[in-house]
């Protein structure tokens, strides 16, 4: 309710009470308040619990997958727009870069919140997608994506064939969410 709606009603009631002695004396009349509610667009956001994953494997071969990032998309926009989650690889300073071509991500375990979210059947996810460029890893497409939706991302990493025991490689995956319309 906007404050500006209350001021005219109070002014109207005051005018009606002082408009004439006949109205005031009879004790009749009415005041009508019309209230309107508007859904204010909320936010579209992503939150996650990521952990440093220490994956080890033979050089030149992919490691086994490890589920290391829990993601939650919160779509409180009130719109029927869908959303898309994008994963982007970047190097970490001070380590030998793994390189996006050597990191594969799989997203699954999609679960809607009990109070609303997107069903797993309505979310398209990826399996073993290389992060050479930013990759859409989960999307509702043009379907509505409102509510809270959780999912898990797991990774496979391939170290260069030239890697030696004790070499330290690093990389970072950052997730973002955006409306698809």
Together in a domain, 72 and 97:
yes
Mean pLDDT is highest, among 29-43, 69-83, 104-118, for: 104-118
Together in a domain, 17 and 54:
no
pLDDT of 118-174, one tens digit each? 889 999 999 999 999 999 999 998 777 688 999 999 888 888 888 888 788 888 888
Number of domains the chain contains: 2
Q: Which pLDDT score, from 0 to 100, does residue 51 have? A: 66
Percentage of the chain with pLDDT > 70?
Answer: 72
Q: Which region, left, alpha or beta, applies to residue 108 given φ > 0 means left and ψ of -120 to 50 means alpha?
A: beta
Alpha-carbon distance of 106 to 113, in angstroms, equals 21
Average pLDDT over residues 89-105: 88
Name the strand (E) or helix (H) holding 133. Answer: none
Q: Which pLDDT score, from 0 to 100, does residue 80 have? A: 78
Q: Which domain holds residue 1?
A: 1-38
Mean confidence (pLDDT) of the chain: 75
Average pLDDT over residues 38-65: 71
Q: Which pLDDT score, from 0 to 100, does residue 88 have? A: 92
Q: Which pLDDT score, from 0 to 100, does residue 33 have? A: 54
Together in a domain, 30 and 100:
no
Together in a domain, 157 and 75:
yes
CA dihedral of residues 110, 115, 121, 125 (deg, nearest 10)? -30
């Amino acid at each position: 309710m906007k404050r500006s709606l209350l001021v005219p009603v109070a002014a109207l009631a005051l005018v009606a009470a002082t408009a004439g002695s006949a109205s005031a004396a009879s004790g009749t009349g009415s005041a009508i308040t019309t209230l309107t509610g508007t859904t204010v667009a909320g936010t579209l956001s992503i939150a996650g619990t990521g952990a440093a994953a220490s994956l080890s494997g033979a050089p030149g071969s992919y490691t086994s997958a490890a589920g290391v990032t829990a993601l939650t998309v919160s779509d409180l926009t009130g719109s029927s727009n869908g959303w898309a989650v994008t994963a982007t690889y970047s190097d970490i300073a001070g380590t030998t870069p793994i390189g996006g071509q050597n990191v594969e991500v799989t997203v699954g375990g999609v679960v809607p919140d009990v109070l609303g979210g997107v069903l797993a059947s309505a979310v398209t996810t990826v399996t073993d997608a290389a992060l050479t460029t930013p990759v859409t890893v989960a999307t509702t497409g043009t379907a509505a994506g409102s509510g809270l939706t959780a999912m898990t991302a797991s990774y496979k990493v391939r170290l260069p064939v030239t890697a030696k025991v004790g070499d330290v490689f690093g990389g970072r995956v950052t997730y973002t969410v955006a409306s698809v319309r």
